[in-house]
């Protein structure tokens, strides 16, 4: 039997990455931040001057992307890029190339290869719908656009970066629209995914809810 998988899909800045990582830690599962793969592909494209609309070259690069995940850090070409891939600019580039079918196809198997016992927790936008359609538990995690904007703003300010709250909220709204409208793997709640709105939830409460859902169905998985 394949290792169990918990998928957390949802829009940008909904908190799914933080929740997924904590769920994985508490369950002793592996964790995959799928968005980092697209951010790594975007950073690689920027560094190597690959046009973001050159689908064929981007897909070829993605298949051979020299990446590593070690000790909670992310490496590209043997350089620690953990913080760099979280910049707003790289995030916007990742959203653009994430709509390209050939690139998504190139990264599909790389994501599935993370599935190992005792289990996997992964977050993204199409984890439950495309990458792991047979996941044990699928969660669609969201929050209001205003709240997500405030969270991203606090995160950037906390890192000492300059930030404009209104611009961040507009960028999030634009990304929501772009991700929902793309023809390949659009952002949406699947019929078999459970909705978790974190607008008024603490991180710990959200983690507790996901684990409660999983434990309720795990014996039958």
Binding residue positions for ATP: 10-18
135: left (phi over 0), alpha (psi -120 to 50) or beta: beta
CB 34 within 8 Å of CB 112: no
CB 102 within 8 Å of CB 55: yes
Residues with Cβ within 8 Å of 173's Cβ and at least 6 positions away in sequence, in order, are 145
Residue with tokens 């000492």: 160
State residue 213 phi and psi, 5-degree precision. -60, -45
Peptide bond into 118 cis (omega under 30): yes
**Residue 102's Cα: distance from chain center in Å?**
18
**Angstrom distance (rounded) from CA 88 to CA 163:** 10
Exposure class string for 161-173: b at 16+ Cβ within 10 A, else e: eeeeeeebbebbb
Residue numbers in the known binding site are 10-18
């Amino acid at each position: 039997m394949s290792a169990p998988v918990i998928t957390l899909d949802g829009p940008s800045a909904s908190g799914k990455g933080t929740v997924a990582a904590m769920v994985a830690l508490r369950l002793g599962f592996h964790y995959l931040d799928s968005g980092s793969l697209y951010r790594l592909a975007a950073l690689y494209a920027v560094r190597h001057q690959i046009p973001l609309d050159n689908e064929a070259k981007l897909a070829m690069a993605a298949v051979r992307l020299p990446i590593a995940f070690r000790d909670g850090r992310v490496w590209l070409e043997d350089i620690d890029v953990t913080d760099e891939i979280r910049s707003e600019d790289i995030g916007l580039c990742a959203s653009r190339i994430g709509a390209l079918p050939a690139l998504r196809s190139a990264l599909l198997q790389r994501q599935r290869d993370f599935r190992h016992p005792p289990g996997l927790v992964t977050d993204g936008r199409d984890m439950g719908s495309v990458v792991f359609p047979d996941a044990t538990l699928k969660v669609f995690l969201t929050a209001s656009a205003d709240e997500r904007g405030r969270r991203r703003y606090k995160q950037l300010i906390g890192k000492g970066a300059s930030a404009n709250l209104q611009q961040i909220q507009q960028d999030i709204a634009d990304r929501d629209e772009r991700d929902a409208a793309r023809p390949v793997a659009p952002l949406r709640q699947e019929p078999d995914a459970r909705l978790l709105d974190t607008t008024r939830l603490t991180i710990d409460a959200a983690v507790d809810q996901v684990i409660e859902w999983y434990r309720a169905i795990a014996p039958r998985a």
